[in-house]
A and B are shown apart, each in its own frame.
Chain A
Amino acid sequence: MSNAVFRGLPFRGFLARGAVSPRHAEFLRALRLRQTRVIVVQLAVLVGFLTLWQLAAHWRLIDPFITSQPAAIAGKLVELTEDGSLGYHVAVTVYETLVGFGLGTLLGIALAGALWWWDFLSDVADPYIVVLNATPKMALGPIFIVWLGATMVAVIALAVSISLFVTILSVYSAFRQADREKLVVVASFGASKWQQFSKVVFPSAVPTIIATLKVNIGLSLIGAIVGEFLAANAGLGYLIIYGQNIFNMSLVMTSLVILTVIAGVMYYAVTALERRFVPWRRD
């Protein structure tokens, strides 16, 4: 109805869709024009970078043997897709990352819960967790390989170890920061310790847990790739090392591009989770 009234008026148009008045239309148009500009410039930067890279390689300003070039990467991408190895290596890396991420996060939250439940345990464990968190987990790689063999299990163990301790520390601190007076509120209704945890402590930590997930997905990917560098015969990390060994920079660069895409997709998947599980947050 309102559309019929406004049809043909100056503030109709794609950029002003949904407007309720001429002033609102102007506001929406400016807002959307800006959003569009941002996306256009983002694409321009990408295209410009790829073009410069390609031209520089073409005119021999840079040596494509060392830097590769977009056309070769695209060709490699098609080649890997056609022989089916791309899907395989991506699947291996994603599997290792997700299992490492899932285990590291769940175990981390469970241990943080245990520390909250038994404060004597947390006092005892505190220095050990801090030291283990500060230890560069990559250094554990060789140990895992000796213990678990040059297998996917060793790679997953590395991915878990890298996200576990930081999860324990940040989630435990979020548990402890739960509002004391909210605990008084539930205590006044006679809440048990488990009810204190499930009604107050855990829900108040959900935003922190989601933030931890965002960090952990990246950390687990690092763990999986480094694990594959050290000991694997499959996965994108393996592909990168293999490419380096046979001095095929196009293979290395192609793997890198795919890795970037995977990292991006996984990050946005976690962000989507946040919208689903933290609806009480105002934007």
Chain B
Amino acid sequence: MSGRERIRGEGLSYTYLTRSGETLALKDLDLTVRDGEFCSIVGPSGCGKSTLLALISGLLRPTEGRLLLDGARINGTNRRVGILLQKDHLFEWRTVLKNAELGLEILGKGSAEARRHAHHLLATYGLGGFENSYPYQLSGGMRQRVALVRTLATDPDILLLDEPFSALDYQTKLILERDVHRIIRDNHKTALLVTHDIEEAVSMSDRVIVLSGRPAQVKNVYDIALTVAEPRTPMTSRDAPEFRAYCKSIWEDLEIEQRGL
């Protein structure tokens, strides 16, 4: 990957303060994500992966260190960055279409055009005909698709994915991984995926960053080079000869961490 640098973190630390004390979630962490790259972060549960995404999305400010987006310090939320969370968080009082339009609505985009755009995206991602349904009428996979459309509707070029597939059943998960991967590739977006699923990380990513237990530090970085026919998909990646070796190596990194806990 030789794209320009999009996200750069230097010496990042984050401390949660509460009445009962302080918890160091990240410590002296360095990170770079390049344009068009699909980068995954794996680490032991509770290691601070989600904190890192919250910092990049501008919802939290680092306690120490510098965090840059396109060379400028991250200072609050940014339109170029979209997030997709583990739960779909669809608004149950809104129809599918109204959910998809949420971001555009908040940005104050003209409603007729926004509606057309959201409509178009829903149809593209297999949700045509469900525009006027309420979320409770949809399956888990469809709900997460609507959440994806909601994120994509505002056209962010960096996507932060916080375990978005972990609440889905296995089959739905594989299909959604494939679709999200394709959407990100086809639209030349940059993605940062947080996951605890090693196979998911290896099959989707160009690069996997392994974090240590809390406080999180970078333990290892893998550039994923797989012998697969283009276009590479998470499905074909799983059949690549090198796939197992990457998974095993990352698994060993994590196992050492877990034992240490």
Contact = CB atoms under 8 A, between A and B. Distances in A.
Contact of B91 (A191, A200, A279): A200
B103 to A, nearest CB: 4
B102 to A, nearest CB: 7
Given A182-B91, A203-B91, A280-B92, A190 B79 contact: yes
Interface in A179-206: 179, 181-182, 184-191, 195, 199-200, 203-204, 206
A282 interface: yes
Given A188-B77, A189-B106, A179 B89 contact: yes
A280 B77 CA distance: 30
B59 to A, nearest CB: 6
B33 interface: no
Interface string B74-111: 00111101110101010111100000001101110000
A185 B134 contact: no
| Residue of A184, A188, A279, A282 with highest tally of chain B CB at under 10 A | A188
Interface in B122-146: 134-136
Counting contact residues on chain A (CB < 8 A from B), the size range is 20 to 34
B91 A189 contact: no
Contacts of B105: 199
Interface of A: 179, 181-182, 184-191, 195, 199-200, 203-204, 206, 278-280, 282
Given A182-B89, A280-B94, A280-B134, 18 more contacts: A181-B85, A182-B91, A184-B59, A184-B83, A184-B85, A188-B59, A188-B81, A188-B82, A189-B77, A189-B79, A189-B102, A190-B76, A190-B78, A190-B106, A195-B106, A203-B91, A203-B93, A280-B93
Interface of B: 57, 59, 76-79, 81-83, 85, 87, 89, 91-94, 102-103, 105-107, 134-136, 150, 154
30 contacts: A179-B89, A181-B87, A181-B89, A182-B89, A184-B59, A184-B83, A184-B89, A185-B83, A185-B150, A187-B77, A188-B57, A188-B59, A188-B82, A188-B83, A189-B79, A189-B102, A190-B76, A190-B77, A190-B78, A190-B79, A190-B107, A191-B106, A199-B106, A203-B91, A203-B93, A203-B94, A279-B134, A280-B92, A280-B93, A280-B134
Which are the 7 A-B pairs with shortest beta-carbon distances?
Answer: A189-B103, A189-B106, A280-B134, A188-B83, A280-B93, A203-B93, A191-B106
